[in-house]
A and B are shown apart, each in its own frame.
Chain A
Amino acid sequence: MEVSRLPLSASQRGKLIYAGYTSLSSLSSVSSSELARDLNVSETEALEILKVASYSGWLDGTSGSHAIVNGAQTAWDMLHEEELLRRITTSSADLDDILGGGISCKEVTEIGGVPGIGKTQLGIQLAVNVQIPANYGGLGGKAIYIDTEGSFMVERVLQIAEACLEDMLDYDVLLHKGVQACQVKMQPKDFLANIYYFRICSYTELIAVINYLEKFISEHKDVKVVIVDSITFHFRQDFEDMALRTRLLSGMALKLMKLAKKFTLAVILLNQVTTKYSEGSFHLTLALGDSWSHACTSRLILYWNSNERYAYIDKSPSLRSASSPYSVTGRGIRNSTSNCKRIKMM
């Protein structure tokens, strides 16, 4: 059925066709806010149009909504959807830059590096940043933190949450030129309440939790990030049967990827670094082997470059490989300060 045959006003039909909505099926998967933006009309008007379209589609019976029935989506729609997705900021503008605005939802991102480089710090930072309310450019979501190593310190979370709140207050002052009273109603403790924390002591427990996540998240739809710190720890002991390990790991990766897609959330897997022996020499590589490196959508490697921490995009379907410095401060992950230092030294 064509849009031109819908019982709408001529101007609305004109706008629809002008914006590229020629068939009913193209209207079936679009939300009212998207339509309002595309047509440059108010949201209530867009809603009316959608109502009319779905009613006509239902009358028509045969055509319409086949896009939904088959579960198929065109790449064009997916692009639109992706552009609308908010990303989770890392609190370092440089790092966000190379990540295309932050950690993307719907993807599994692996972050690896040597001990002490700041993997856990980045994990905690993301668990806090996902909670930044939407009017501050955040997601206003909640976090699941799966801790296998015991490095998650509540006092550190509180520190980072306090700094995050301060930044939000600064933003308020900047925006309203200090005239209006602050609008942030969150307390540092609220950040803690919004992190679902699982402490895992064996690999069987880890698999159990990941199997349970689907049920848990469908009950807690506002979860927007799942952080596993680290995916590696329990898989580096007790495995004589390496084939079993590979199977378990890839099974887990598939589940996590499915979760990311289904609930539009970001999955962050922290990985350790190990030395790999090949061709007579040792060199550093991320743990869990070659087959694991296929498991994640994107991969970020953290490393030292002289006295600075750097992040490097090792694998990503959409971002070019790039690196940027960052630093771990008392307030959390921030931009590296060395640029300022260099100026001072000169």
Chain B
Amino acid sequence: MNPENLLQHPLPTPKCTTGCPLIDRFLSGGVPTNSITELVSESGCGKTQLCLQLLLAAQLPTTLGGLASSSLYLHSEFPFPFRRLHQLSLSFRSSHPSLFASSDPLDRIFVHPLHSAEHLLDVLRRIDRFLEHPPTLFPLKLIIIDSIAALFRSEFENKPSDLKRRSVLFFKISSKLKLQAKTFGLAVVVTNQVVDFVGSSDGMNGLRVGNLGSLYSSGRRVCPALGISWANCVNSRLFLSRNEEVLGDESGLVETGSGDFVAVQTKRHIHVLFAPHLPNSSCEYIIVREGVFGVERTATDLQKRAIK
């Protein structure tokens, strides 16, 4: 039994690009390998969009920030958004024509449905052989579980015995994933849902997890599902939020008070709730046909001013 030599660790830790340089910079390179990254948001914020984009981006060679790997997508929310993945793959292919001239990126994405938490554990045990002897030339380096919350939210009741059984499962799943991540250098991404936060703001102090005092999405106060036990199981947690902002004088559409229309824009942000290697920060992003992209706030502000 010998300690690992930290000097021989690759520096920085290999990361998987998200396919957008701005979000990559925000995440200091992308999604780290050897660790579990969690994406938390309410539905419709772009968790799945970002996941699909990661499935494709992982195939890029390491010189372009990818992992030169194939990827596995385990989904518990049905149906699998195949049309969207196809759409993304077309634009992905056209932006890297030389890399995917002869092969289809979709060939390197494996998809498997999940029906329960026990099923997930079973699948994880079975992919060990798959990880050791990859069927393609590209080893599997990215596992995405979308979503972990859906597996747990139906099956367990809110009583002590069920909660205990649930948290034992959390730690089993997490330690299996971490073992695989470490042994095979995987990047693991799990998505999680939110629940409405009910309670006084004072009561939050003890339970507060992460950088933000309170999480708001769509004007509601929310907190990540699955409680504090699961929060102990992930290495980094990112929160995607969506909030409507009334466009003020920049657009010239100021509310006149007589019931006129108000221009409303949805602003999406990604926040670091906690991560061992990232500071407390946030980044605005948009979802377009070609995928999820970061927005440089200062640049858009400058643009707005220029238009004015």
Chain A residues within CB distance 8 Å of chain B: 114-116, 120-121, 144, 149-158, 189, 192-193, 195-199, 201-202, 208-209, 212, 232-234, 236-238, 272-275, 277, 283-284, 303-307, 329-330
Contact = CB atoms under 8 A, between A and B. Distances in A.
Interface of B: 1, 3-7, 9, 11-13, 28, 32, 34-36, 160, 167-168, 171-172, 175, 178-179, 181-183, 205-211, 213, 227-229, 231-232, 234-235, 237, 273-274, 276-277, 279
A237 B209 contact: no
A284 B5 CA distance: 37
Contact of B168 (A151, A195, A236): A236
Contact of B179 (A116, A155, A157, A201): A201
Contact of B237 (A115, A154, A158, A192): A115
A283 B75 CA distance: 33
Contacts of A330: 279
5 contacts: A114-B208, A150-B182, A197-B6, A199-B4, A330-B279
A328 B50 CA distance: 29
A153 B277 contact: yes
B276 A236 contact: no
Given A115-B209, A233-B232, A238 B168 contact: yes
Query: Which 6 residue pairs across A and B have the least CB separation, nearest first?
Result: A116-B274, A237-B171, A196-B3, A155-B12, A192-B6, A153-B277
Nearest to A118: B274
Main secondary structure of the interface of A (DSSP, over half): mixed
Given A115-B232, A153-B276, A237 B168 contact: yes
A114 B231 contact: yes
Nearest to B183: A201
Given A155-B28, A212-B1, A275-B228, 14 more contacts: A114-B228, A115-B237, A150-B34, A197-B4, A232-B232, A233-B232, A236-B168, A236-B232, A272-B232, A274-B228, A284-B206, A303-B205, A303-B206, A304-B205
A60 B36 CA distance: 67
Contact of B276 (A120, A197, A208, A284): A120
A152 B172 CA distance: 20
Contacts of A306: 205, 213
A292 B3 CA distance: 27
A197 B206 CA distance: 32
A1 to B, nearest CB: 48
A192 B205 contact: no
Nearest to A151: B276
A306 B214 CA distance: 10
Given A150-B35, A284-B207, A304-B205, A273 B228 contact: yes
Most buried by A among B3, B228, B229: B3
B11 A155 contact: yes
B206 A154 contact: no
A116 B273 contact: yes
Nearest to A203: B175
Contacts of A149: 178, 235
Nearest to B9: A154
A209 B281 CA distance: 37
Most buried by B among A121, A154, A198, A233: A154
Contact of B211 (A116, A193, A201, A273): A116
Contacts of B28: 155
Most buried by B among A149, A208, A234, A277: A149
A134 to B, nearest CB: 23
Given A196-B3, A306-B205, A156 B172 contact: no
A156 B5 CA distance: 16
Contact of B175 (A153, A196, A201, A307): A201
A238 B9 CA distance: 31
Contacts of B11: 154-155, 158
Contacts of B160: 277
